[in-house]
Amino acid sequence: MTHPEGTGVTVLGLGAMGSALATTLLDAGHAVTVWNRTPSRAADLSARGAEAASTIDAAVAAQPLIVACLLDHASVHEALDPVIAGMRGSALVNLTTTTPNEARELASWAAEHGVSYLDGAIMATPPMIGTSEASILYSGSPEVFDAVRPVLDRWATSTYDGENSGLASLFDLAMLSGMYTMFAGFLHGAAMAGSAGMSATDFAARATPFLSAMTAGFALDAAVIDGGDYTVPGQQSLEFSDLGHLVRASEEQGVHPAPIAAVQELISKQIADGHGAEGFARLYESLRADRTERTDQVETLR
Ligand code: NDP
């Protein structure tokens, strides 16, 4: 189906995120067909001009570009297995959160049925979609990315990370891993301050500027890691960074030390292995995958 404003799009899944994606496209003037397992969720979008398909068969046949924003990997198969054979020649952009291996499995499954596949990882909340704060990572078919880029750019800043379909998911989950670990650290700090009666709100007001300033250290650690020399002068040594006192203080205050104890465990391991004089970035060596086993991904990244 053609439309004055560009590519017609089918959006499968009208949860909080799928609805935001469809709304943004409607507002930009695209022809939008929507489908949701629970049909009532399509009512608002129909009122805004979307075509609500009564079956998923009709939905995937309606437009050349199919966007899936369902719950998880299993739900993509559950919804699309019955109709994938009839989708030959169409393009599927899957914005459902999956693991990298699940994304690669979906790419192979789509290819077996003659469907071009682009995986996407949304770095935004639904209200951010269509604003300059939103970012979406993509990997998979470069042809699909190039062809539908004007649609993708309606939602967010689009970044293409390569043909390996799992990479968008990998980089998304890598950033979320950093974020959740940082938030757990904040909550642990709030619990420590809270043991003396400070409100979490007051602690957040003190912690936010401090932690924001500390993120400048990411680039310094990254340079050490990429340089491969953890003895570079100017770093704080692991022996100096030993956090045993922090774990003890937490326990003395009756606060569960789990987040900081996990960091201390990594430090202790590196010190026990003889790296106590090296910098904090050395912890990376306890965490990283064996690069010799990851050549497929490393090559894609070059
Ligand atoms: P919601 O829980 O709001 O919606 C889930 C959607 O998946 C609903 O449309 C639901 O249909 C559908 N669904 C679930 N299981 C099935 C199934 N077996 N078959 C068909 N449809 C199914 O989630 P969101 O919209 O918030 O998230 C959607 C995706 O976007 C997720 O993968 C999420 O990780 C990702 N995402 C979400 C973000 C957010 O902030 N919300 C941020 C970044 C990524 P029904 O209405 O019938 O239940």
pLDDT 10s digits, 133-188: 999 999 999 999 999 999 999 999 999 999 999 999 999 999 999 999 999 999 99
Q: Establish if 63 belongs to a structural domain.
A: yes
Does residue 71's CB lie within 6 angstroms of at least one atom of ligand 1? Answer: yes
Does residue 94's CB lie within 6 angstroms of at least one atom of ligand 1? Answer: no
Look at ligand 1, atom 7, and give the residue with the nearest C-alpha. 70
Are 79 and 121 contained in the same domain?
yes
Instruction: Please give the residue range of the domain that contains residue 178.
Output: 171-296
User: What value does the mean pLDDT take over residues 62-88?
Assistant: 97
Q: Establish if 232 belongs to a structural domain.
A: yes
Does residue 39's CB lie within 6 angstroms of at least one atom of ligand 1? Answer: no
Are 142 and 203 contained in the same domain?
no
Are 129 and 198 contained in the same domain?
no
Are 57 and 157 contained in the same domain?
yes
CB 12 within 8 A of CB 83: no
Share of the chain above pLDDT 90, in %: 91
Q: Which of 11, 17, 78 to mutate to test the pocket of ligand 1 (most atoms within 8 A of CB)?
A: 17
Are 57 and 88 contained in the same domain?
yes
In angstroms, the Cα distances linking 39 to 12, 53, 55, 95 are 11, 9, 9, 20
Are 126 and 175 contained in the same domain?
no
Separation of CA 182 and ligand 1 centre (Å): 25
Q: Out of 116, 147, 163, pick the residue that ends a domain.
A: 163
Name the domain count of the chain: 2
Is pLDDT of 63 > 90?
Answer: yes
Task: Give the pLDDT score at 183.
Answer: 97
Q: Out of 163, 196, 220, pick the residue that ends a domain.
A: 163
What are the tokens at 192? 């420590």
Are 36 and 149 contained in the same domain?
yes
Does residue 13's CB lie within 6 angstroms of at least one atom of ligand 1? Answer: yes
Task: Give the pLDDT score at 293.
Answer: 52
Are 44 and 159 contained in the same domain?
yes
Are 144 and 16 contained in the same domain?
yes
**What's the CA gap between 261 and 246, in Å, rounded?**
8
Does residue 75's CB lie within 6 angstroms of at least one atom of ligand 1? Answer: yes
Is pLDDT of 291 > 70?
Answer: no
Separation of CA 244 and ligand 1 centre (Å): 42
pLDDT band at 299, cuts 50/70/90?
very low
pLDDT band at 234, cuts 50/70/90?
confident
Q: Establish if 2 belongs to a structural domain.
A: no
Separation of CA 142 and ligand 1 centre (Å): 26
Ligand 1 atom closest to Cα of residue 12: 9
